[in-house]
């Protein structure tokens, strides 16, 4: 028997399958999906079994055997292995990089070089003992002189060098007490021991020692029972469950209105008939899309199948988890980057072992090792966070559709503001569109106003808060209601500027100005993380006439506190870095009835608070100025989504957009919540400019520390593309990227637009292979982004 193995090396020249012999003792154990340790040259490395066969095409005597298996059960299912191959091909990535993206970080191996004395006795033994070394020693712990002294014995084989592989995170164990049920003797006056023994024997298998101590028993009492043979100490696996101490009130299914019922029945039919249909659930904010998700999943579980539920932002996860845990209890596993490696590993194990039937999480949850999938749901499907920005640059929706075809189950893409690509597919019948045009709980009208900030400034108001918004906030505070304010820019000020010479401090590594953060009293780059102290004098002319311009959330928080004399909850990347802060801040806002929640786009979607009756957007123009063809779409989506946070229950809501472009159609149509009009207007622009969804895109980005190398590489790539595509394709570039330098790397790009290019995939792989080799020699990096979400 032979195993086809992908080894854990990302180099392009080993991005292929290697054959290994399965030793006789392992033939019944090793299956497709197992992690194994294999010899690779002089090393031992981790690999993944992707196929098992009876014969190979070359001399079996030359094939090395697998050393050992790392797991009792395979970590990958055959379906996930097939998926990895598909994604590697489609997104121009290495097979192993996709496999390691699919698996939790805890399963990635760490290696260490170990030396041991092979044959005690002789000169090697004397040298070893003279250094006072343990039986095995890690190479990196030896001094240079020690290693030099042992080198001859390594060469002669008297000292053995081997590689030991371990994984990042293992299962967590805890001490427990197990009753032996031995016949009881006379306890005399040891009443506490007898009481404790009764307590332990109530748990037939075991009880955690921590639970015993929490119930008031002492370690001394435990020791006496162990000594008498009534109890034995054991170690048991425990789950690192981030929700273990939480109590969720049961949430019963709610009655569906006519629109919800129609959508549910359509999806239910696809579930019952095993149809891999993709539904676009287009529902206005507050229309009850989540209740449809919940009832669909309940139906799937009744059929003995499983469900995947994806949300775009970690900030959305707490409320979504609450609803799912309240409806489905312990059958829910949660997977997102906010969990520790250990917590995520335990949740992953729970899913793989069948202990959870419903998975809720962010983008990478689409790879959860669930089997018998009955439905995959992607909420807020328009969000760009579903696209991975690092290799492999996959999109979660494409992964979901592939898995749905494998399991013959439907995919639900839900959004109040669908991506133009998804809506266009629903227009052509590729997706089945289901419309929810009315709010589920209330029909209370939400009034939306646009405030022209240029008029405000002409009237003498130079504050970031318009008079209309100020009055509306004051009214909410008087009535004990809450306000959500959006400013999609963190930090205190956009930049520091010298009023004498106009000098603006820039990041030394990137072509971008540094942002002022008052709390740290520093200037920071939001691209590479560079940080510099604020200087009182200009670096260019020495003047002390330095000031700060622009406004971020940190400064606005200060302004609002002074203006309204009230508490503020601020949510941005600076306040949510620590684990659990998303949920903590949202709970503070809701439970303490803080009047104002201020944040970046992480607060714009998914939040559902009955007391929020006012939403204010402090600068509706922020995303309009991005040099990207999706700028108008992103602006419309963000404004519509955040507007939907107001008046979601019995109380009516009000929305105020502050802008310098009151007549821009993205802002005007967000005010009237007219998605169809926006779609028609934006599609006309896309058709004229020949952008998606009328064309597919591939973005090539070359990075190097010199401009010349970038130009040479992009010129070469341009020629390769021209030589291998039809004259119907459109090639834009080579040109500098909108941000030309990041982290001391100059960046040039080419954008390919096409409709149908039969040879394209082959050409992309050829280009990628060429520049993988070039990276080793010249550190010139190429990223090929298929279907990019950012042209930046």
For residue 116, what are the β-bridge partners?
136, 160
Cβ atoms 161, 142 nearer than 8 A:
no
For residues 181 and 201, what is the distance between their CA atoms, to the nearest angstrom?
7
Give how far the C-alpha of residue 611 lies from the chain's centroid of Cα atoms, to the nearest Å.
30
Residues of the binding site: 498, 501, 507, 510, 525, 528, 538, 541
Which residue spans within 67-197 are E strands per DSSP? 68-69, 109-117, 136-138, 159-167, 172-179
Q: How far apart are CA 775 and CA 782, in angstroms?
A: 8
Strands (E) in 118-214, as ranges, are 136-138, 159-167, 172-179, 207-208
Q: 59 to each of 73, 196, 291, how far by Cα in Å?
A: 30, 66, 60
Largest Cα span, the chain: 97
Q: How far is CA 472 from CA 310, 324, 366, 480, in A?
A: 35, 35, 42, 12
Closest CA to 279 of 86, 487, 426, 436: 426
In terms of residues, how long is the chain?
A: 792
Sheet holding 18-21, edge to edge: 18-21, 2-7, 43-53, 35-40, 68-69
- The DSSP call for residue 367 is G
Phi, psi torsion values for 375, nearest 5 degrees: -165, 145
The owner of tokens 């009880």 is 207
Please tell me the distance from the alpha carbon of residue 449 to that of residue 494, in angstroms, as a whole number: 27
Q: Which residue has the tokens 């042992």?
A: 150
Q: Is the peptide bond before 432 cis (omega within 30 degrees of 0)?
A: no
Feature table: binding site for Zn(2+)? 498, 501, 507, 510, 525, 528, 538, 541
Using CA atoms, how far apart are residues 112 and 144, in angstroms rounded to an integer? 17
- Residue 13 is given by DSSP the state G
Can you name the residues that pair with 36 across neighbouring β-strands? 47, 69
**Tokens standing for 591?**
């439970």
Q: Which among 763, 747, 716, 768 is positioned nearest to 10, based on CA atoms?
A: 768
What the block records as the tokens of 198 is: 């009764």
CB atoms under 10 Å from CB of 220, counted, come to: 9
Query: b vs e for 143-173, b when ≥16 Cβ sit within 10 Å of the residue's Cβ?
Result: eeebeeebeebbeeebbeeebebebebeeee
Q: How far is CA 317 from the centre of its chain?
A: 11
Answer left, alpha or beta for residue 339, where phi above 0 means left and psi between -120 and 50 means alpha. beta
What is the bridge-based pairing of β-strands 411-415 and 35-40? unpaired
Q: How far apart are CA 634 and CA 631, in angstroms?
A: 5
The residue to which tokens 């003992």 are assigned: 129
Cβ atoms 433, 641 nearer than 8 A: no
Tokens coding 392: 């492999």
CA proximity to 659, closest of 448, 349, 353: 448
Give 738's DSSP letter.
Answer: E
Q: Is the peptide bond before 110 cis (omega within 30 degrees of 0)?
A: no
The closest of 98, 87, 94 to 398, measured between CA atoms, is 87
| 174, β-bridge pairs | 236
């Amino acid at each position: 028997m032979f195993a086809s193995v992908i080894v854990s090396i990302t180099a392009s020249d080993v991005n292929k399958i290697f054959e290994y012999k399965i030793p006789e003792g392992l033939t019944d154990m090793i299956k497709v999906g197992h992690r194994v340790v294999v010899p690779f040259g002089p090393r031992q490395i981790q690999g993944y079994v992707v196929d098992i066969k009876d014969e190979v095409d070359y001399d079996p005597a030359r094939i090395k055997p697998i050393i050992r298996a790392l797991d009792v059960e395979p970590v990958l299912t055959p379906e996930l292995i097939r998926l990895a191959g598909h994604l590697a091909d489609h997104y121009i990535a290495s097979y192993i990089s996709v496999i390691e993206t699919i698996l939790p970080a805890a399963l990635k191996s760490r290696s260490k070089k170990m030396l041991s004395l092979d044959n005690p006795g002789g000169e090697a033994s004397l040298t070893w003992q003279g250094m006072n070394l343990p039986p095995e020693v890690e190479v990196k712990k030896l001094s240079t002189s020690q290693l030099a002294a042992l080198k001859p014995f390594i060469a002669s084989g008297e000292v053995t060098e081997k590689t030991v592989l371990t994984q990042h995170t293992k299962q967590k164990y805890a001490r427990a007490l197990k009753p032996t049920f031995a016949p009881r003797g006379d306890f005399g006056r040891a009443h506490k021991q007898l009481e404790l023994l009764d307590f332990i024997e109530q748990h037939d298998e075991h009880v955690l020692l921590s639970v015993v101590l929490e119930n008031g028993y002492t370690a001394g009492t435990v020791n006496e029972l162990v000594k008498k043979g009534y109890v034995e100490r054991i170690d048991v696996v425990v789950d690192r469950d981030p929700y273990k101490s939480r109590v969720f009130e049961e949430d019963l299914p709610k009655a569906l209105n006519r629109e919800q019922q129609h959508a549910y029945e359509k999806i239910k039919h696809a579930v019952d008939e095993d149809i891999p249909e993709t539904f676009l659930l287009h529902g206005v904010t507050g229309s009850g899309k989540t209740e449809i998700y919940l009832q669909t999943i309940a139906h799937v579980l009744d059929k003995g199948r499983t469900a995947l539920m994806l949300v775009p932002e970690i900030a959305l996860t707490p409320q979504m988890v609450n609803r799912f845990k309240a409806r489905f209890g312990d059958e829910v596993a949660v997977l997102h980057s906010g969990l520790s490696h250990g917590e995520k590993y335990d949740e992953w194990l729970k899913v793989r072992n069948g202990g959870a039937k419903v998975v809720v999480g962010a983008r990478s949850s689409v790879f959860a090792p669930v089997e018998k999938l009955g439905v995959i749901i992607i909420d807020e499907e328009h969000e760009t966070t579903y696209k991975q920005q690092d290799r492999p640059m996959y999109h979660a929706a494409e992964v979901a559709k592939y898995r749905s075809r494998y399991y013959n189950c439907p995919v639900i893409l839900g959004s109040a503001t669908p991506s133009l690509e998804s809506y266009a597919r629903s227009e052509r019948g590729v997706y089945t569109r289901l419309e929810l045009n009315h709010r589920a709980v209330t029909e209370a009208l939400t009034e939306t106003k646009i405030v022209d900030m240029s008029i405000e400034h002409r009237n003498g108001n130079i504050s970031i808060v318009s008079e209309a918004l100020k009055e509306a906030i004051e009214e909410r505070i008087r009535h004990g209601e809450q306000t959500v304010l959006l400013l999609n820019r963190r930090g205190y000020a956009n930049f520091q500027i010298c009023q004498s010479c106009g000098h603006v401090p820039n990041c030394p590594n990137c072509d971008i100005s540094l942002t002022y953060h008052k709390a740290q009293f520093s200037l920071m780059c939001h691209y590479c993380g560079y940080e510099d102290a604020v200087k009182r004098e200009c670096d260019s002319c020495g003047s002390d006439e330095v000031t700060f311009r622009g406004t971020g959330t940190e400064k606005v928080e200060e302004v609002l506190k002074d203006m309204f004399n009230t508490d503020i909850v601020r949510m941005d990347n600076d306040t949510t870095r620590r684990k659990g802060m998303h949920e903590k801040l949202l709970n503070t806002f809701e439970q303490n009835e803080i009047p104002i929640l201020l944040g970046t786009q992480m607060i714009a979607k998914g939040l559902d608070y009955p007391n929020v009756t006012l939403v204010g957007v402090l600068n509706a123009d922020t995303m309009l100025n991005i040099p990207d063809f999706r700028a108008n779409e992103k602006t419309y989506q963000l404004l519509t989504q955040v507007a939907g946070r107001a008046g979601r229950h019995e109380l009516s809501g009000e929305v105020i957009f502050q802008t310098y472009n009151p007549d821009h159609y993205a802002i005007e149509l967000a005010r009237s919540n007219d998605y169809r009009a926006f779609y028609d207007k934006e599609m006309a622009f896309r058709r004229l400019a020949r952008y998606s969804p009328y064309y597919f895109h591939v973005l090539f980005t070359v990075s190097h520390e010199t401009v010349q190398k970038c130009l040479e590489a992009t010129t070469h790539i341009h020629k390769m593309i021209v030589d291998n595509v039809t004259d119907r394709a459109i090639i834009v570039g080579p040109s500098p990227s909108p941000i030309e330098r990041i982290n001391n790397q100059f960046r040039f790009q080419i954008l390919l637009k096409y409709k149908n290019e039969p040879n394209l995939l082959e050409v992309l792989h050829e280009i990628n292979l060429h520049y993988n080799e070039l990276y080793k020699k010249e550190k010139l990096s190429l990223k090929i982004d298929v279907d990019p979400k950012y042209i930046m």
